Amino acid sequence: MEYKKASYTDFITDLQNIQSHLRQGDLDSLEGIFCICDRTVHNRSPMNLAITLFRSVGSETEMVREATVLIALSDSIYGNFLPIKRNSNMGNKECLRYQILKLLHNIEDILGEIDKLSPMIFYSLKMSRFALSLYKPRIKAELSTITFKLKRAGISIGLTELMVKTVGDQLWDRKITYGQIDKIVKVLNGIKIMEGISEGNIEKVLVLSDLDPSEIAGYLIDRSRDSLLEKDSLYDQANELVNLKEEAAILSVQIGKYQANEFSITAKKLESFYRSHGSIISKKIKLHKKEASDQLNFQGNRKLQVNLPVSQFGLFIRLAMQVGWFGEREVSKTFEFFSKNFSTSRAMIISAESLQKKSLDVEYSNAKKMKAHLIQMINHLNQHHNTSKP
């Protein structure tokens, strides 16, 4: 927009006048402010206006206050402009639309110059409604494309939903800041240009974005917990816990490198989770020392070996409970009993938690194999015992 006045204060006054005329529906008076007739007047660049603004304030607090006023004026002008945009019968509509859009873009250019002069202030500002109206359609389209890309790449539903939720929750926040939009754009661009799409790479992009630390940390903690329970042996769980802690330590270093906030919520929550499992890590050496003794106990037939993998053994126990062989009130104690007194060829010491979890998370292949075992038992019963009425 071209201005009749040069200073930033006069620029704000012009915005306030435009805001007032739009609110009142006094569109004819806008011709006195907008240069509709191509009058040549003094033009001030957004950078000069931003510099003038910086020179007129004495602190960052004042700078934030002035920038907030600018955004509030933009929101008001944009909000009152929308009904005009929809009114097809109004004269000079295209000219007025052009001038208002030019004005709104000019405000964003000034804010962009503030970004160059003080990025921290800019990123903390609530995004204007006009700027958000430009970003939202592009982000939604890219999010849809990337979601489809992740599904085709075989990325887990949980991680895909985390990415969509993390971006979506931020995008629909009415108080979203320029900094949050910048993080969303970086996340989508990071995944879009990713050469080797993998869950680890996607997790890294989400973590380093610091977009929604609590949500991302919760996902990583749940994934770590599931990873531990997937290990049948307590020894394997202890080793897995050490590996997970090492990964978390590397991640903390990366977070510190890419994020200004050295006390990242993601890093703190992961550290807290692994600290709470520190007792398991400290027992790792004791478990290895005890392994030799357990092996002797196993060879002395103190534990009965089952010729089934842990997943099928857990399913068998669950089926026995459901048909009433064992009581269902003390589920944990039942699985603990079997873990202490039975072993498999691949897991000398079975984790009770893993055994219980796998009795519920039944894959199709395991269910089919268990069905075959049960049919084999029925056939044996029919063949070797009289099961028919005399």
**Which pair of tokens denotes residue 344?**
């498999």
Confidence band of 244 (pLDDT split at 50, 70, 90): confident
Q: What digits encode the pLDDT tens for the residues 266-277?
A: 777 777 776 665
Q: Whole-model pTM?
A: 0.62
Q: Where is average pLDDT lowest: 106-110, 201-205, 235-239?
A: 235-239
Distances (CA, A) of 6 to 38, 46, 74, 103, 354: 18, 11, 19, 15, 72
Distances (CA, A) of 381 to 283, 324, 363, 385: 46, 20, 27, 5
| Residue at 329: amino acid letter | R
Contact 188, 149 (CB under 8 A): no
How far apart CA 255 and CA 247 sit, in angstroms, is 12
Q: Can you give the C-alpha Rg of the chain in angstroms?
A: 33
**Which pair of tokens denotes residue 24?**
């009142």
Q: What digits encode the pLDDT tens for the residues 318-339?
A: 998 888 888 777 888 888 888 8
Residue 305: strand pairing partners: 343
